Structure 1
Amino acid sequence: MMKPLLSTLFYLAAMCSIAACSSNAQEPVPEPVDDDEDLQGQYTNPVWEPVLADPTVVKSGDTFYAYGTEDNWGDEGGYHLVPVIKSKDLIHWELVGDALSSKPTWKPEGGIWAPDVTKVGNQYFMYYSFSTWGDANPGIGLAIADNPEGPFEDYGKIFDSQSIGVNNSIDPFYYEEDGQKYLFWGSFRGLYMIKLTEDGKATEGEKVQVAGDHLEATYIHKKNGYYYLFGSYGSCCEGANSSYQVWVGRSEKLEGPYLDKAGNRLLDGHYGELVVKGNLGDSGFAGPGHNAEVVTDIEGTDWLIYHGMLKSQPRTNNGTNRRTLLIDPILWNDGWPMLFRQEPSTTANDGPVF
């Protein structure tokens, strides 16, 4: 008479145990959300396409403006002489137009590459590269606007490679500290810095080399007593075969020496710490690099803004490298910046908070 009762008790106990295990193993099923809200506050790279190569970012009020290299987007938008896009959140962008209405005339030919836009006083200064591929004497110029949407009026040449004594003088970056203005520049022939005059329209003093010939696209970010020099390494513009990466070194002084973790000087060889490289495999992005200014959101997260090419669509229909705009949070590990897995993200993630 006891066996049926015991069997029943064992059965009930087993069922309760299974139910308990199942309950502990499963996450709550999320409530359905409206399609218009399911990605609110999240982003998936790229945040802008088809092209915004060599980006630079400046904030005016509550709006971010991003600028890129002169390019022809083919049937995805045509020709743009320094395209300008804007956003409130670094995720949703819209095209404003072009920063320049006509090309500067101080050089007979070339493209306007890698602009760097900064608010200087009450105006917006755009230092830019003027170069052709393989140019023997590229240079850096300045254009100025009263508002970030332009139009920027060309001020003229700051220097060319011959006058400054540095081959391949492109990729300018403006930096100001304690009232002193500086310009950094260089591309695979050494990275350099020099003081600017009070109005920012000319150089003064002697140039100082800060890194060797393995990097281009200088960006300086100061954090917790260190100056971080970000630079791009590898080939920028070979479609899905592009090997571009972002490397970094740091220094306690603006003029260097910039060191890697092991104490090697970026001046002395191909040294630096990897921040981001292309995704492994056949998917994701190739050639991530030439980062813009680091943007810090209200939660204190630093965001890297940079370009990269979808391996599935690395070029436009006319052959232009389809360098799309990417963003990702910077992870600081013992005082050194890197992206998660040192790769661009390819899935939806929480975005910046402003």
Structure 2
Amino acid sequence: MWRTGGAPRARGPLTPLFVGAVVSGAVALVVGLAASCGPDGGRPDARASSSAPAPSPAGTAAPILPPGYSPTEPVLDDSFADPAAVKVGDTYFAYGTNGGDAKMPVATAPGPAGPWTRSPGDGLARLPAWAEEGWTWAPEVVPPQRRGDPYLLYFTARRRDADVQCIGIATATSPAGPFVPREGEPLICPARLGGAIDAASFIEDDGTRFLLYKSDARKTAAIYLVQLTSDGLELAAPATRLLGRSGDEPVLVEAPDLVKRDGKYVLFYSAGWYFKPNYQTRYAVASSVWGPYEKGPAPIQSTDLYGGKIEGPGSADVLSDGTGDYLVFHGITEYHGGSRVTRPMYVAPLGWDGTRPVVRGVPARYEVEAARLNGCVSALPRPNASGGKAAGPFARDDCTVDVRVFAPVAGRYSVRVQYANRSGAESDLEVAVNGTAAGSVRLAATDGADWTSVTAQVRLGGGWNTLGLRRLSGAGRPAGKGQLDYLEVR
């Protein structure tokens, strides 16, 4: 995933060179002049990150989403692991780890969430002499920054003469390839650290180029940053270690991606084995590109956070365009024994609470007792409730709560209301969004210590919103008294 300082980066048998050339020519007809008119055609638009939380929506644009799209369903059904994506002209390009008949599969789409179509042939013309077939991982394509410059591909491959993986470089005149590798030694291959994988480009506001990667030995696995020459083809300085595994993270860290948001550097990375369900996406923030990086308190993607709808989400790449930010990543859909898994590509809109990334499709829970209560409603000890407390009872029409919730992007969301209603009668609650009535939910009567839920559909603005709930009665409405445990927004 390449990134500029002002915007996030977008991340078999040998196929003959002419096959890739045919693919390149076909795609060129789609990309047209936009891909050939200079660097601006391939660079994502900068978007400022969200400011501090506000009581009303931040007003971010609605993302481009095709009919039937779901952030928890693959956009490419077959394996397309370690995906990275860029936008060139009006076309989106995605690149993945080797699989099937391609060392580097390529897919295209009219929008970030698809529909995606695999391109025929192979995006990588061949491997350099130092690389072994069948081990081409985690591609990173960087569009040209100046007119006449090539597209750059950073890729991982295994050395023929040593049991280590290294990062090589290839160039092309089209985002579709074929990318032709540079011969000689790999660009990065720290043998004392067990090699290197997972290259990710970052370009500062002043044009300074960097490359991030992971050292490959398990015991010393860490994320490194190295400065490149202005053309991106050579190392300009020694590498610096940015971060390693923490005690609450599984096994190791890998798959870095760096963006700049709210004046800070936000480093995405994965933790764990890519072939296990506890693989997850995390982040860390720094004031300087060199760190120190302070890790976020918890994963932003995991099997548990998705409620099992996506297993082992990780290897995330931030794609940015004029419609907003998107997280491109893989998840596990099939296990074939050992480290062999099927990992298709997913795309989810990405929002920002300052420097905290928030992913569409990951539900967020808000404890109602911690919200703004108007006095008629109070926090009640309830040992069997989430957090040991609930809010209620909603005994009169002026009983209200205001819960501030965050939406990654503008759009329609489901709000799950966890409640108990032991009054013996049903109860209706109005649901308002930022002071405007948006619907209502009915709380059916419950028994004993049981808690249940009801779901409302609301439209939220991108950023912080206020969900208000108040009791409705009169005009034939029931007059029960409910208690609320939490709201879950997804």
TM-score normalised by structure 2 residue count: 0.53
Report the residue type matching 2:294 in the other structure: L
Q: Partner residue of 1:48? A: 76
d(CA) in 1 for partners of 2:116, 2:105: 12
Query: Equivalent pairs: percent with the same residue?
Result: 28
- In structure 1, what is the equivalent of residue 358 of structure 2? 338
Q: Judging changes above 3 Å, is the alpha-carbon distance between structure 1 residues 309 and 155 closer, same or farther for their aligned structure 2 residues?
A: same
Aligned residues: 280
Shift of 1:154: 0.6
Residue 244 (str. 1) matches residue 272 (str. 2): no
In 2 relative to 1, CA 316–61 (structure 1 residues): closer, same or farther, beyond 3 Å? Answer: farther
The reply to whether residue 233 of structure 1 matches residue 290 of structure 2 is no
Specify the alignment match of 1:11 in structure 2: none
- How far apart, CA to CA, are the structure 1 residues paired with 2:92 and 2:329? 14
Pairing 1:199–2:231 present: yes
Cα-to-partner distance string for 1:125-172 (whole Å, 9 max, x where unaligned):
11001138xx7421100011000111110113212122xx43341111
Q: Would you say the 8 A contact 1:249–1:273 is kept in 2? A: no
- SS where residue 48 of structure 1 aligns? coil
SS in 2 for 1:186: strand
Q: 2:135 corresponds to which letter in structure 1? A: G
- Is 1:219 equivalent to 2:244 in the alignment? no
Q: In the alignment, what sits opposite 1:93? A: 116
Q: TM-score, normalised by structure 1?
A: 0.72
Is residue 156–residue 197 contact of structure 2 (8 Å, CA) maintained in 1?
yes
Query: Is residue 2:303 matched to residue 1:278?
Result: yes
1:95 maps to a residue whose letter is: R
Gaps of 5+ in 2: 1-64, 246-251, 365-410, 413-490
Q: What displacement does 1:281 show?
A: 9.0
Partners in 1 of 2:214 and 2:281 — Cα distance? Answer: 15
- The answer on 1:115 being equivalent to 2:139 is yes
CA distance in 1, matches of 2:319, 2:307: 28
CA RMSD of aligned residues (A): 2.8
What is the identity, as a one-letter code, of the residue corresponding to 1:294?
Answer: L
Q: Judging changes above 3 Å, is the alpha-carbon distance between structure 1 residues 341 and 151 closer, same or farther for their aligned structure 2 residues?
A: closer
- The question of 1:130 aligning with 2:153 is answered no
Q: Which AA in structure 2 matches 1:258?
A: Y
Give the Cα separation in 2 of the matches to 1:142 and 1:61: 24
Q: Which amino acid aligns with 2:328?
A: I
3-state DSSP of counterpart to 1:327: strand
Provide, for residues 185-213 of structure 1, a one-character-per-residue CA deviation record: whole Å limited to 9, x for no partner. Answer: 01551111111122211112221111114
Identify if the C-alpha distance between structure 1 residues 316 and 60 changes in structure 2 by more than 3 Å, giving closer, same or farther. Answer: farther
Q: Is 2:86 the counterpart of 1:81? A: no
Distance 2:242 2:102 in 1: 33
Against the structure 1 CA distance between its residues 282 and 304, is the aligned structure 2 distance closer, same or farther, given a 3 Å change threshold? closer
Work out whether residues 277 and 343 of structure 1, in 8 Å CA contact, stay in contact via their aligned partners in 2: no
2:291 matched residue in structure 1: 256
1:172–1:343 Cα change, 3 Å: farther
> 1:28 matched to which residue of 2?
none
Aligned-pair distance for 1:292? 1.7
Maintained 8 Å contact 2:126/2:181:
no
**Alpha-carbon deviation of 1:225?**
0.3
- Please list every run of 5 or more consecutive structure 1 residues that lacks an aligned counterpart in the other structure: 1-38, 73-78, 262-271
| Residue identity in the other structure for 1:305 | V
Distance 1:93 1:210, change over 3 A: same
Structure 1 contact 246–290 (Cα < 8 Å) conserved: yes
Provide the residue aligned with 2:202 in structure 1.
Answer: 175
Query: Contact 1:66/1:86 (CA < 8 Å) preserved in 2?
Result: yes
Code of the aligned partner of 1:43 = Y
Change (3 A) 1:180 1:340: closer
Question: In 1, are the aligned partners of 2:66 and 2:115 still within 8 Å (CA)?
Answer: no
Distance in 1 of aligned mates of 2:356 and 2:308: 27
Match in the other structure for 2:326: 303
Distance verdict in 2 for CA 1:108–1:93, change over 3 Å: closer
8 Å contact 1:276–1:338 — kept in the other structure?
no
TM-superposed deviation, 1:80: 1.9
Q: Distance in 2 between matches of 1:340 and 1:40?
A: 15
Q: How far apart, in 1, do the equivalents of 2:314 and 2:342 lie?
A: 13
Distance in 1 of aligned mates of 2:68 and 2:111: 10
Residues 66 and 84, structure 1, Cα contact 8 Å, conserved in 2: yes
Counterpart Cα distance in 2 of 1:109 and 1:230: 29
